[in-house]
Structure 1
Protein backbone atom coordinates (compact mmCIF):
# COMPACT_ATOMS: atom_id res chain seq x y z
CA UNK A 1 0.00 0.00 0.00
CA UNK A 2 1.32 3.45 -0.92
CA UNK A 3 1.17 6.17 1.71
CA UNK A 4 3.07 9.01 0.01
CA UNK A 5 2.09 10.64 -3.27
CA UNK A 6 4.06 13.28 -5.14
CA UNK A 7 2.95 15.53 -8.01
CA UNK A 8 2.79 13.32 -11.09
CA UNK A 9 1.94 10.17 -9.12
CA UNK A 10 -1.80 10.60 -9.59
CA UNK A 11 -3.76 12.68 -12.11
CA UNK A 12 -4.72 16.28 -12.67
CA UNK A 13 -7.45 18.11 -14.53
CA UNK A 14 -6.05 21.30 -16.03
CA UNK A 15 -8.35 24.03 -17.33
CA UNK A 16 -7.34 27.58 -18.26
CA UNK A 17 -8.32 29.03 -14.86
CA UNK A 18 -8.39 25.96 -12.61
CA UNK A 19 -6.09 23.00 -12.06
CA UNK A 20 -7.35 20.15 -9.89
CA UNK A 21 -4.78 17.55 -8.81
CA UNK A 22 -5.65 14.36 -6.99
CA UNK A 23 -3.21 14.54 -4.08
CA UNK A 24 -4.45 11.38 -2.32
CA UNK A 25 -6.74 8.94 -4.15
CA UNK A 26 -9.45 7.05 -2.32
CA UNK A 27 -7.90 3.64 -3.00
CA UNK A 28 -4.94 4.66 -0.81
CA UNK A 29 -7.28 5.25 2.14
CA UNK A 30 -9.59 2.28 1.75
CA UNK A 31 -12.21 4.66 0.34
CA UNK A 32 -12.52 6.77 3.45
CA UNK A 33 -10.97 9.94 1.98
CA UNK A 34 -9.77 11.64 -1.19
CA UNK A 35 -7.72 14.82 -1.19
CA UNK A 36 -7.62 17.33 -4.05
CA UNK A 37 -5.23 20.23 -4.39
CA UNK A 38 -6.81 23.02 -6.42
CA UNK A 39 -5.17 26.13 -7.88
CA UNK A 40 -7.65 28.75 -9.06
CA UNK A 41 -6.53 31.76 -11.07
CA UNK A 42 -8.24 35.12 -10.47
CA UNK A 43 -11.69 34.97 -12.05
CA UNK A 44 -11.79 31.17 -11.98
CA UNK A 45 -14.95 29.29 -11.06
CA UNK A 46 -14.15 25.78 -9.82
CA UNK A 47 -17.61 24.31 -10.45
CA UNK A 48 -21.19 25.41 -10.95
CA UNK A 49 -23.53 25.14 -7.98
CA UNK A 50 -23.78 21.46 -7.12
CA UNK A 51 -25.08 19.12 -4.44
CA UNK A 52 -23.37 15.96 -3.20
CA UNK A 53 -25.68 13.32 -1.77
CA UNK A 54 -23.01 10.83 -0.72
CA UNK A 55 -20.05 12.82 0.60
CA UNK A 56 -18.96 15.92 2.49
CA UNK A 57 -16.17 18.30 1.48
CA UNK A 58 -13.84 20.23 3.74
CA UNK A 59 -11.93 23.10 2.13
CA UNK A 60 -8.69 24.54 3.54
CA UNK A 61 -7.36 27.67 1.82
CA UNK A 62 -3.63 28.20 2.13
CA UNK A 63 -3.14 31.05 -0.34
CA UNK A 64 -5.41 33.69 -1.85
CA UNK A 65 -9.11 34.24 -1.20
CA UNK A 66 -11.89 31.87 -2.16
CA UNK A 67 -15.49 33.00 -2.52
CA UNK A 68 -18.00 30.32 -1.66
CA UNK A 69 -21.71 29.78 -1.87
CA UNK A 70 -22.97 27.49 0.88
CA UNK A 71 -26.72 27.05 0.69
CA UNK A 72 -27.98 30.61 0.31
CA UNK A 73 -25.01 32.20 2.12
CA UNK A 74 -22.03 33.66 0.31
CA UNK A 75 -18.76 33.97 2.21
CA UNK A 76 -15.04 34.40 1.67
CA UNK A 77 -12.31 32.13 2.99
CA UNK A 78 -8.77 33.48 3.18
CA UNK A 79 -5.39 31.95 3.98
CA UNK A 80 -5.60 29.58 6.93
CA UNK A 81 -9.40 29.44 6.72
CA UNK A 82 -11.41 26.26 6.59
CA UNK A 83 -14.97 25.71 5.36
CA UNK A 84 -17.15 22.62 5.71
CA UNK A 85 -19.38 21.85 2.71
CA UNK A 86 -21.82 19.18 3.91
CA UNK A 87 -23.66 16.71 1.72
CA UNK A 88 -27.15 17.69 0.57
CA UNK A 89 -26.29 21.42 0.67
CA UNK A 90 -25.87 23.30 -2.62
CA UNK A 91 -22.45 24.91 -2.94
CA UNK A 92 -19.87 26.36 -5.31
CA UNK A 93 -16.56 28.17 -4.99
CA UNK A 94 -14.34 30.52 -6.99
CA UNK A 95 -11.33 32.81 -6.73
CA UNK A 96 -12.63 36.14 -5.50
CA UNK A 97 -9.20 37.76 -5.18
CA UNK A 98 -6.55 39.12 -7.51
CA UNK A 99 -3.85 36.48 -6.97
CA UNK A 100 -4.02 32.70 -7.48
CA UNK A 101 -5.89 30.85 -4.74
CA UNK A 102 -4.56 27.52 -3.54
CA UNK A 103 -6.67 25.15 -1.54
CA UNK A 104 -7.01 21.60 -0.36
CA UNK A 105 -10.31 19.75 -0.52
CA UNK A 106 -10.88 16.64 1.58
CA UNK A 107 -13.74 14.49 0.27
CA UNK A 108 -15.24 12.05 2.78
CA UNK A 109 -15.84 9.34 1.95
CA UNK A 110 -13.62 9.32 -1.12
CA UNK A 111 -16.31 8.45 -3.66
CA UNK A 112 -15.48 10.85 -6.49
CA UNK A 113 -12.17 9.69 -7.98
CA UNK A 114 -14.01 8.03 -10.86
CA UNK A 115 -15.97 11.22 -11.51
CA UNK A 116 -12.80 13.31 -11.79
CA UNK A 117 -11.11 10.69 -13.95
CA UNK A 118 -14.17 10.55 -16.23
CA UNK A 119 -14.44 14.31 -16.85
CA UNK A 120 -11.88 14.49 -19.70
CA UNK A 121 -13.89 11.94 -21.72
CA UNK A 122 -17.13 13.94 -21.56
CA UNK A 123 -18.40 15.91 -24.54
CA UNK A 124 -20.34 18.91 -23.34
CA UNK A 125 -22.52 19.91 -20.41
CA UNK A 126 -25.14 17.17 -20.82
CA UNK A 127 -22.54 14.41 -20.48
CA UNK A 128 -20.95 16.15 -17.48
CA UNK A 129 -24.37 16.38 -15.78
CA UNK A 130 -25.01 12.68 -16.48
CA UNK A 131 -21.57 11.68 -15.19
CA UNK A 132 -22.18 13.68 -12.01
CA UNK A 133 -25.60 12.08 -11.57
CA UNK A 134 -24.00 8.63 -11.75
CA UNK A 135 -21.91 9.64 -8.71
CA UNK A 136 -24.86 10.99 -6.71
CA UNK A 137 -24.30 14.65 -7.58
CA UNK A 138 -26.65 17.23 -8.98
CA UNK A 139 -24.90 19.85 -11.13
CA UNK A 140 -26.77 23.08 -11.76
CA UNK A 141 -24.96 24.14 -14.93
CA UNK A 142 -27.10 27.25 -15.43
CA UNK A 143 -25.64 28.67 -12.20
CA UNK A 144 -22.23 29.15 -13.86
CA UNK A 145 -23.57 32.05 -15.91
CA UNK A 146 -25.29 33.63 -12.91
CA UNK A 147 -22.17 33.34 -10.73
CA UNK A 148 -20.11 34.67 -13.63
CA UNK A 149 -22.26 37.76 -13.96
CA UNK A 150 -22.38 38.38 -10.21
CA UNK A 151 -18.68 37.75 -9.44
CA UNK A 152 -16.86 38.09 -12.77
CA UNK A 153 -15.80 34.42 -12.79
CA UNK A 154 -15.90 31.59 -15.33
CA UNK A 155 -15.10 27.90 -15.49
CA UNK A 156 -12.95 28.23 -18.63
Structure 2
Protein backbone atom coordinates (compact mmCIF):
# COMPACT_ATOMS: atom_id res chain seq x y z
CA UNK A 1 0.00 0.00 0.00
CA UNK A 2 1.04 3.55 -0.63
CA UNK A 3 -0.73 5.38 2.19
CA UNK A 4 2.18 7.83 2.33
CA UNK A 5 0.94 9.25 -1.01
CA UNK A 6 -2.35 10.42 0.55
CA UNK A 7 -3.02 14.06 -0.34
CA UNK A 8 -5.69 16.22 1.31
CA UNK A 9 -6.03 19.87 0.32
CA UNK A 10 -8.25 22.54 1.77
CA UNK A 11 -10.31 24.85 -0.51
CA UNK A 12 -7.94 27.09 -2.50
CA UNK A 13 -4.88 25.12 -1.41
CA UNK A 14 -2.39 23.74 -3.96
CA UNK A 15 0.65 21.48 -3.89
CA UNK A 16 4.03 23.11 -3.54
CA UNK A 17 5.95 23.21 -6.82
CA UNK A 18 9.67 23.29 -7.56
CA UNK A 19 9.32 26.84 -8.90
CA UNK A 20 6.48 29.27 -8.25
CA UNK A 21 3.73 29.08 -10.85
CA UNK A 22 1.90 32.26 -11.86
CA UNK A 23 -1.53 33.00 -10.40
CA UNK A 24 -4.13 30.93 -12.17
CA UNK A 25 -2.08 27.70 -12.15
CA UNK A 26 -2.58 25.39 -9.18
CA UNK A 27 -1.31 21.84 -8.86
CA UNK A 28 -3.78 19.67 -6.94
CA UNK A 29 -2.08 16.30 -7.56
CA UNK A 30 1.52 16.35 -8.78
CA UNK A 31 2.90 13.70 -11.10
CA UNK A 32 5.14 12.52 -8.24
CA UNK A 33 2.08 12.11 -5.98
CA UNK A 34 0.56 9.57 -8.39
CA UNK A 35 3.81 7.74 -9.20
CA UNK A 36 3.60 9.22 -12.70
CA UNK A 37 0.09 8.00 -13.46
CA UNK A 38 -1.59 11.41 -13.69
CA UNK A 39 -1.50 15.07 -12.70
CA UNK A 40 -4.41 17.32 -11.69
CA UNK A 41 -4.32 21.09 -12.01
CA UNK A 42 -6.86 23.80 -11.40
CA UNK A 43 -6.32 26.48 -14.02
CA UNK A 44 -7.79 29.88 -14.72
CA UNK A 45 -7.81 30.40 -18.46
CA UNK A 46 -6.32 33.91 -18.50
CA UNK A 47 -4.66 33.42 -21.89
CA UNK A 48 -5.46 31.58 -25.08
CA UNK A 49 -3.60 28.29 -25.48
CA UNK A 50 -2.61 27.91 -29.15
CA UNK A 51 -2.79 24.70 -31.14
CA UNK A 52 -0.69 22.02 -29.49
CA UNK A 53 -0.35 18.25 -29.32
CA UNK A 54 0.28 15.93 -26.40
CA UNK A 55 1.84 12.84 -27.95
CA UNK A 56 1.74 10.89 -24.67
CA UNK A 57 -0.93 12.45 -22.46
CA UNK A 58 -4.69 12.34 -22.65
CA UNK A 59 -6.11 15.57 -21.24
CA UNK A 60 -9.46 15.82 -19.46
CA UNK A 61 -10.91 19.29 -18.83
CA UNK A 62 -13.86 19.97 -16.51
CA UNK A 63 -15.17 23.55 -16.39
CA UNK A 64 -15.74 24.68 -12.81
CA UNK A 65 -17.00 28.17 -13.65
CA UNK A 66 -17.16 30.48 -16.64
CA UNK A 67 -16.97 29.47 -20.27
CA UNK A 68 -14.21 28.32 -22.57
CA UNK A 69 -13.84 27.16 -26.14
CA UNK A 70 -11.92 24.16 -27.42
CA UNK A 71 -10.88 23.80 -31.06
CA UNK A 72 -10.73 20.13 -31.95
CA UNK A 73 -10.58 18.57 -35.43
CA UNK A 74 -11.89 21.62 -37.25
CA UNK A 75 -14.76 22.36 -34.85
CA UNK A 76 -15.08 24.84 -32.01
CA UNK A 77 -16.83 23.53 -28.91
CA UNK A 78 -18.12 25.92 -26.23
CA UNK A 79 -17.97 24.51 -22.71
CA UNK A 80 -19.89 26.04 -19.83
CA UNK A 81 -19.71 25.27 -16.10
CA UNK A 82 -20.25 21.58 -15.47
CA UNK A 83 -19.24 20.51 -18.97
CA UNK A 84 -16.15 18.47 -19.71
CA UNK A 85 -14.06 17.21 -22.61
CA UNK A 86 -11.53 14.45 -23.14
CA UNK A 87 -8.73 15.49 -25.50
CA UNK A 88 -7.01 12.29 -26.67
CA UNK A 89 -3.26 12.24 -27.09
CA UNK A 90 -1.85 12.76 -30.56
CA UNK A 91 -4.61 15.08 -31.80
CA UNK A 92 -4.00 18.85 -32.11
CA UNK A 93 -6.27 21.13 -30.09
CA UNK A 94 -6.45 24.69 -28.77
CA UNK A 95 -8.28 26.38 -25.88
CA UNK A 96 -9.40 29.89 -25.14
CA UNK A 97 -11.38 31.75 -22.56
CA UNK A 98 -14.93 32.81 -23.48
CA UNK A 99 -16.09 34.63 -20.33
CA UNK A 100 -15.29 37.31 -17.79
CA UNK A 101 -14.06 36.58 -15.26
CA UNK A 102 -11.95 33.97 -17.03
CA UNK A 103 -13.04 30.34 -16.96
CA UNK A 104 -11.70 28.10 -14.20
CA UNK A 105 -11.20 24.45 -15.06
CA UNK A 106 -9.91 21.25 -13.55
CA UNK A 107 -7.39 19.56 -15.84
CA UNK A 108 -6.39 15.92 -15.49
CA UNK A 109 -3.49 14.66 -17.62
CA UNK A 110 -2.58 11.01 -17.85
CA UNK A 111 0.11 9.92 -17.68
CA UNK A 112 1.42 12.75 -15.56
CA UNK A 113 4.00 15.31 -16.56
CA UNK A 114 1.98 18.44 -17.32
CA UNK A 115 2.88 19.95 -13.94
CA UNK A 116 6.56 19.18 -14.56
CA UNK A 117 6.38 20.82 -17.99
CA UNK A 118 4.92 23.98 -16.41
CA UNK A 119 7.64 24.01 -13.75
CA UNK A 120 10.34 23.69 -16.42
CA UNK A 121 8.68 26.35 -18.55
CA UNK A 122 8.43 28.90 -15.75
CA UNK A 123 11.90 28.02 -14.45
CA UNK A 124 13.23 29.04 -17.89
CA UNK A 125 11.78 32.51 -17.28
CA UNK A 126 12.61 35.22 -19.82
CA UNK A 127 14.80 32.89 -21.88
CA UNK A 128 11.69 31.49 -23.63
CA UNK A 129 10.35 34.92 -24.59
CA UNK A 130 10.55 36.43 -28.04
CA UNK A 131 11.36 40.13 -28.56
CA UNK A 132 7.62 41.01 -28.58
CA UNK A 133 7.13 39.45 -25.12
CA UNK A 134 5.21 36.42 -26.39
CA UNK A 135 6.48 32.92 -25.78
CA UNK A 136 8.97 31.71 -28.39
CA UNK A 137 7.21 28.49 -29.39
CA UNK A 138 10.45 26.95 -30.66
CA UNK A 139 12.01 27.35 -27.21
CA UNK A 140 8.79 26.21 -25.50
CA UNK A 141 8.78 23.12 -27.73
CA UNK A 142 12.39 22.35 -26.76
CA UNK A 143 11.23 22.24 -23.13
CA UNK A 144 8.12 20.23 -24.02
CA UNK A 145 10.04 17.63 -26.02
CA UNK A 146 10.77 15.39 -23.03
CA UNK A 147 7.04 15.44 -22.17
CA UNK A 148 5.96 14.54 -25.71
CA UNK A 149 4.33 17.93 -26.15
CA UNK A 150 4.63 20.60 -28.81
CA UNK A 151 2.86 23.71 -30.06
CA UNK A 152 2.18 23.78 -33.78
CA UNK A 153 1.01 27.36 -34.37
CA UNK A 154 -0.16 30.57 -32.81
CA UNK A 155 1.23 32.82 -30.11
CA UNK A 156 1.07 32.62 -26.36
CA UNK A 157 1.81 35.10 -23.60
CA UNK A 158 2.00 33.77 -20.05
CA UNK A 159 2.47 36.22 -17.21
Instruction: Name the TM-score, length of structure 1 as normaliser.
Output: 0.80
Partner of 2:8: 4
From 18, 27, 32, give the equivalent of 2:37: 32
1:17-75 Cα distance to aligned partner (Å, 9 max, x none): xx21111101111211100100124xx21x22100111100000010001111122111
Deviant stretches of 4+, over 4 Å: none
Quote the Cα distance in structure 2 between the aligned partners of 1:9 and 1:60.
19
From 11, 22, 27, give the equivalent of 1:14: 22
Q: Cα RMSD over matched residues? A: 2.0
Does the 8 Å contact 2:70/2:94 carry over to 1? yes
How far did residue 8 of structure 1 move?
Answer: 4.5
Partner of 1:149: none
Larger Rg: 2
Quote the Cα distance in structure 2 between the aligned partners of 1:40 and 1:68.
12
Does the 8 Å contact 2:14/2:27 carry over to 1? no
Quote the Cα distance in structure 2 between the aligned partners of 1:71 and 1:143.
16
Instruction: Name the TM-score, length of structure 2 as normaliser.
Output: 0.79
Structure 1 portions without partners, runs of 5+: 146-153
Structure 2 portions without partners, runs of 5+: 129-135
Partner of 2:155: 144
Quote the Cα distance in structure 2 between the aligned partners of 1:53 and 1:35.
18
How far did residue 155 of structure 1 move?
Answer: 4.9
Relative to 1, partners in 2 of residues 1:9 and 1:112: Cα closer, same or farther, differing over 3 Å? closer
Quote the Cα distance in structure 2 between the aligned partners of 1:77 and 1:155.
22
